[in-house]
């Protein structure tokens, strides 16, 4: 199969695409893949690191308020559609899939106009603007939450789950935390991170909680996000860290460390939730209130309502509450294991194969 993949902006749209490509390479090693991303997206770094061919487009997202920038956005979109058609004619894909983010708006739209079979993958419980726009033109739509059905034409929808779940589900404990990140062996680990970009409020609360983490029976791996790291490491509160607190800017290979994590504290981005549910890890979710239609709260509630995760709102978040919630969960093994078991029940560990089946059916009829 020749497949053109597009999606980007943030890790939540890129990692599902990469997981899909990984499964494709395993199941159909002769297939050819081209990734089209945005010049300014996180994909520019992440995709080549995975050894996948990348072409980029100069494109930007719409501002929510009316502004002059949006005129530029329309111009860049039309230019990118034109550019995408050129890339598609050169690469000659059998099928094109978009995994969200504005860049795939231009690429998938161009493919549909050229009558190439197309699919989009929606990771969230509420559709993003790009996928909503594309839903009119594409052949199939893969979803991960039943709530997303409301956003799309029923006849195109297939429940697939998020391909990243399959990548993570195949992982086993590897002692990576100890060998690569210097954490202690055989001490339960709490991972704190704010999505693929880091989250300022979660970072502030974590810094405020550092002293309260000292002398606990668990250790903390606090991942700040690359752009916040230097400032955080210059903060007086991080100068003398307790022995059980470790700080990193970013974890390049998150699936490899997740099997070693006892509890996750983080945003409720859809791809993070796919990972958490694939393995069954207890979590305390702090949804970002800054995303379209508050979709992270809806993502989080889909787990909280099944007692498959705990939740703190960003409004109530502070260092004291964060330290207390972590301590309560880490001190109560029975509750933690119950949450982890419920969490695993909602996972879709074969999601990448499910998406590939849809793509195969589009190509082979």
Residues at the site binding ligand UD1, with contacts judged by CB under 6 A: 10-13, 15, 123-124, 164, 193, 195-197, 223, 250-251, 254, 267, 269-272, 275, 288, 291, 295-296
Residue 212 marked ligand-binding: no
Q: For ligand UD1, give the closer residue by CB, 36 or 191.
A: 191
Distance (Å, whole) CA 200 – CA 206: 10
Handedness of CA 21, 22, 23, 25 (dihedral sign): positive
* Residue 96 burial (CB count, 10 A): 32
Q: For ligand UD1, give the closer residue by CB, 3 or 17.
A: 17
Residue 6 marked ligand-binding: no
CA nearest to 167, candidates 279, 41, 268: 279
Handedness of CA 160, 162, 164, 165 (dihedral sign): negative
Q: For ligand UD1, give the closer residue by CB, 177 or 270.
A: 270
Q: How far is CA 104 from the centre of its chain?
A: 16
CA nearest to 211, candidates 232, 190, 191, 241: 241
Residue 12 marked ligand-binding: yes
- For residue 66, the minimal CB distance to ligand UD1 (Å) is 21
Q: For ligand UD1, give the closer residue by CB, 1 or 310.
A: 310
- For residue 194, the minimal CB distance to ligand UD1 (Å) is 7
- For residue 30, the minimal CB distance to ligand UD1 (Å) is 28
- Please give the structure tokens belonging to residue 28: 């159909």
The residue number whose beta carbon is nearest to ligand UD1 equals 269
- Please give the structure tokens belonging to residue 139: 């052949």
For 64, which DSSP code?
A: S
- For residue 112, the minimal CB distance to ligand UD1 (Å) is 22
Q: For ligand UD1, give the closer residue by CB, 17 or 323.
A: 17
**What's the order of all strands across the beta sheet hosting 219-223?**
245-248, 219-223, 189-193, 263-266, 282-285, 310-311
Residue 101 marked ligand-binding: no
Distance (Å, whole) CA 198 – CA 360: 36
- For residue 309, the minimal CB distance to ligand UD1 (Å) is 13
- For residue 242, the minimal CB distance to ligand UD1 (Å) is 21
Distance (Å, whole) CA 342 – CA 12: 23
Q: For ligand UD1, give the closer residue by CB, 87 or 138.
A: 138
Residue 194 marked ligand-binding: no
Residue 341 marked ligand-binding: no
Binding-site residues from annotation for UDP-N-acetyl-alpha-D-glucosamine = 10-12, 124, 196, 251, 296
Annotated binding site: 10-12, 124, 196, 251, 296
């Amino acid at each position: 199969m020749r497949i053109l993949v597009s999606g980007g902006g943030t890790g939540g749209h890129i990692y599902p695409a990469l997981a899909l490509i990984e499964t494709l390479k395993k199941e159909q090693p002769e297939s050819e893949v081209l990734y089209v991303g945005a010049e300014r997206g996180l994909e520019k770094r992440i995709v080549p690191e995975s050894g996948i061919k990348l072409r980029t487009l100069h494109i930007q997202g719409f501002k929510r308020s009316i502004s002059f920038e949006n005129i530029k956005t329309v111009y860049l979109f039309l230019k990118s559609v034109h550019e995408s058609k050129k890339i598609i004619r050169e690469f000659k894909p059998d099928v094109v899939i978009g995994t969200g983010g504005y860049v795939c708006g231009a690429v998938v739209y161009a493919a549909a106009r050229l009558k190439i079979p197309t699919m989009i993958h929606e990771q969230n419980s509420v559709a993003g603007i790009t996928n909503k726009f594309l839903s009119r033109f594409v052949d199939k739509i893969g979803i991960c939450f039943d709530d997303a059905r409301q956003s799309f034409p029923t006849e195109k929808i297939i429940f697939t789950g998020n391909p990243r779940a399959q990548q993570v589900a195949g992982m086993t404990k590897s002692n990576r935390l100890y060998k690569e990140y210097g954490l202690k062996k055989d001490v339960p680990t709490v991972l704190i991170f704010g999505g693929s970009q880091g989250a300022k409020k979660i970072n502030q609360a974590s810094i405020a909680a550092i002293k309260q983490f000292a002398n606990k029976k668990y250790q903390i791996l606090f991942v700040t996000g690359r752009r916040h790291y230097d400032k955080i490491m210059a903060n007086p509160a991080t100068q003398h860290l307790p022995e059980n607190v470790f700080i990193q800017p970013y974890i390049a290979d998150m699936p490899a460390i997740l099997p070693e994590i006892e509890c996750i504290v983080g945003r409720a981005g859809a791809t993070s939730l796919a990972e958490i549910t694939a393995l069954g890890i207890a979590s305390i979710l702090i949804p970002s209130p800054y995303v379209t239609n508050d979709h992270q709260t809806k993502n989080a509630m889909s787990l909280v309502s099944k007692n498959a995760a705990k939740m703190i709102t960003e409004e109530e978040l502070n260092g004291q509450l964060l330290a207390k919630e972590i301590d309560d969960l880490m001190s109560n093994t029975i509750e933690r294991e119950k949450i982890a078991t419920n969490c695993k029940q909602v996972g879709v560990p074969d999601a990448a194969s499910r998406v590939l089946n849809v793509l195969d059916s589009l190509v082979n009829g």
